[in-house]
């Protein structure tokens, strides 16, 4: 399996282990619908991933679907293994009509066919279906005990052994070998589907975790800004009372303070929404109160666009799944072609009988070869082959389309990361300029060359630049996470 898959699995296992040792959180017990997080807990990325991998309903559904696929595959293999069955029965045969009229002076053996006969039989059959490279083989052994109502009673015992062997059915190794191949490839698809689900979960949890962390930063920043706006208002009020600021200055300070309050309320609402989304992914109650540990900043990839595209084409699970579909189509085409092939079987048998009335041995043997050739099937086989070929062509087109889509998606993500990286740099420069401008405006206010309104405007401009930088950093982190997911990581 691909190294990235192993990395993903190891990461989730490590996350589950970290969860077990984590602070303030507990794993769900047997029969519990959801895990719980102690109020006020600070969870890490590893704990969030561990909870999602262990408690999420989607994870449980994915595991169940994979177990169903494994059971179906095991059933196909079991059907291609050795089968042993036993049989037993009793019967009574009563002739009528001409068969019931015994010839004068007939022997006891001749009379046995003209009178009622009771028989008991038992046997075993060993079947070796088309498992692996083994041909179809059927072995049977049957013993029969019969008693006819003659005078004296006619008593006979017989034992029959037979074998039926398929020699050729249109495919080297026999047709069912293709069915086993299709079942194994189908299981591989299901395993890849489980891997894709794990990767999707990993992406969703990371994305949600970074959103919560960003929302926490926004609340902290807006709280700081509100504190600054309140301080600006108090300062402006003092200046107004001293006759050094106008009513417009005071009104502007009040508007700035109210705007900061609204921004903080919005930030708290966004934090609550992002926490609910993360809680649902982790399988904990949506109302859980917790915070997340600040994640390490992600760095943009250093590879070229072509290198990233090659990585995506190599690692994307959806592409591997459709390539396996192509393999199944090829196997199905081969199987359908065998439908018009002759089937050659050989058979042989031997019967030994013993008549107890006169201690006489009887026996016979037989051997033969049978060839079954389709003569008229109304075009069924040809239609099946044509359908399989058309399905393969459709799959080839889907593969080409998916490769184009992957390449385009990676390019879009790559351009987005580069653009957002540039915007983060621009936002940092803009913040630096805004802060220096604010400091300069304060100096000029003290020198009497600027008004209090100028100071308030510069303060808002500086805060706006700080908020813009925080948002740009968040967008860049989410874009890097999306790029990683689209690369199949």
- Inform me whether the pLDDT recorded for 353 exceeds 50: yes
Report the percent of the chain where pLDDT is more than 90: 46
pLDDT of residue 211: 94
- Inform me whether the pLDDT recorded for 275 exceeds 50: yes
Q: Which two tokens stand for residue 26?
A: 């507990």
Q: Which two tokens stand for residue 126?
A: 């060993």
Q: Is the pTM of this model over 0.75?
A: no
**Paired residues of 93 in beta bridges:** 117
Domain count along the chain? 1
Q: Which two tokens stand for residue 480?
A: 């890097």
Q: Where in the sequence is the domain holding 109, given as residue range(s)?
A: 82-128+135-172+341-376
Q: Does 463 map to a domain? A: no
Specify the range with the lowest mean pLDDT, choosing from 232-241, 253-262, 326-335. Answer: 326-335
pLDDT of residue 226: 96
Cα 444 to Cα 83, 228, 229, 288, 439: the distances in Å are: 97, 20, 20, 50, 9
Q: Does 27 map to a domain? A: no
Q: Does 97 map to a domain? A: yes
Q: Which two tokens stand for residue 381?
A: 């086989």
- Inform me whether the pLDDT recorded for 15 exceeds 50: no
Q: Does 355 map to a domain? A: yes
Measured distance CA(320)–CA(399) in Å, rounded: 9
Highest mean pLDDT among 65-79, 144-158, 225-239: 225-239
Paired sense of beta strands 137-148 and 25-26, if any: unpaired
Highest mean pLDDT among 6-20, 80-94, 232-246: 232-246
Mean pLDDT of 428-439: 96
What is the rounded average pLDDT for all residues in the chain?
84
Specify the range with the lowest mean pLDDT, choosing from 6-10, 163-167, 210-214, 316-320. Answer: 6-10
Q: Does 354 map to a domain? A: yes
pLDDT of residue 451: 92
Q: Is the dihedral of CA 186, 188, 189, 190 positive or negative?
A: positive
Question: Which pLDDT band, with edges at 50, 70 and 90, does 20 fall under?
Answer: very low
Mean pLDDT of 12-33: 42
- Inform me whether the pLDDT recorded for 150 exceeds 50: yes
pLDDT digits (tens, 9 = 90+) for 168-203: 877 776 777 888 888 899 899 888 888 888 888 889
Q: Does 10 map to a domain? A: no
Q: Does 71 map to a domain? A: no
Q: Does 242 map to a domain? A: no
Report the percent of the chain where pLDDT is more than 70: 87
pLDDT of residue 108: 55
Could you tell me which of 52, 297, 323 has the C-alpha nearest to residue 199? 52
């Amino acid at each position: 399996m691909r190294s990235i898959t192993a990395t993903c699995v190891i990461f989730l296992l490590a996350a589950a282990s970290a969860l077990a040792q984590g602070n303030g959180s507990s794993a769900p017990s047997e029969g519990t619908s959801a895990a719980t997080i102690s109020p006020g807990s600070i969870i890490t990325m590893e704990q969030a991933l561990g909870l999602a991998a262990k408690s999420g309903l989607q994870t449980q559904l994915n595991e169940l679907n994979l177990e169903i696929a494994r059971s179906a595959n095991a059933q196909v293999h079991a059907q291609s293994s050795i089968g042993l069955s036993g049989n037993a029965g009793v019967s009574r045969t009563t002739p009528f009509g001409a068969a019931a009229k015994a010839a004068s002076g007939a022997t006891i053996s001749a009379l046995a066919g003209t009178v009622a006969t009771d028989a008991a039989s038992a046997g075993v059959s060993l079947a070796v279906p088309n498992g692996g490279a083994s041909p179809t083989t059927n072995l049977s052994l049957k013993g029969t005990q019969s008693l006819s109502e003659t005078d004296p009673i006619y008593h006979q015992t017989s034992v029959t052994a037979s074998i039926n062997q398929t020699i050729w059915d249109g495919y080297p190794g026999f047709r069912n070998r293709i069915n086993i191949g299709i079942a194994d490839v189908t299981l591989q698809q299901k395993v890849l589907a489980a891997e894709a689900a794990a990767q999707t979960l990993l992406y969703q949890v990371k994305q949600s975790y970074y959103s919560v962390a960003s929302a926490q930063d926004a609340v902290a920043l807006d709280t700081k800004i509100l504190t600054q706006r309140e301080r600006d208002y108090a300062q402006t009020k003092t200046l107004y009372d001293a006759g050094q600021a106008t009513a417009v200055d005071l009104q502007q300070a009040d508007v700035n303070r109210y705007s900061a309050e609204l921004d903080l309320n919005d930030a708290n609402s966004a934090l609550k929404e992002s926490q609910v989304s993360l809680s649902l992914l982790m399988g904990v109650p949506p109302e859980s109160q917790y915070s997340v540990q600040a994640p390490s900043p992600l760095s943009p990839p250093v590879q070229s666009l072509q290198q990233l595209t090659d990585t995506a084409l190599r690692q994307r699970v959806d592409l591997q799944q459709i390539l396996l579909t192509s393999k199944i189509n090829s196997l199905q085409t081969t199987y359908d072609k065998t439908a018009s092939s002759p089937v050659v079987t050989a058979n042989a048998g031997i019967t030994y009988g013993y008549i107890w009335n006169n201690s006489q041995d009887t026996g016979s043997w037989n051997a033969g070869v049978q060839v079954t050739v389709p003569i008229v099937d109304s075009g069924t086989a040809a239609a099946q082959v044509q359908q399989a070929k058309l399905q393969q062509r459709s799959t080839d087109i889907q593969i080409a389309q998916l490769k184009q889509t992957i390449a385009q998606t990676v390019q879009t993500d790559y351009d987005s990361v580069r653009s957002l990286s540039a915007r983060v740099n621009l936002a940092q420069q803009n913040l630096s300029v805004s802060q220096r401008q604010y400091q300069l405006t304060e100096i000029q206010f003290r020198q009497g060359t600027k008004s209090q309104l100028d100071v308030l405007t510069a303060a808002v401009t500086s805060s706006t630049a700080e908020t813009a930088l925080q948002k740009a950093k968040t967008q860049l982190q989410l874009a890097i996470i999306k790029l990683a997911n689209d690369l199949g990581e």
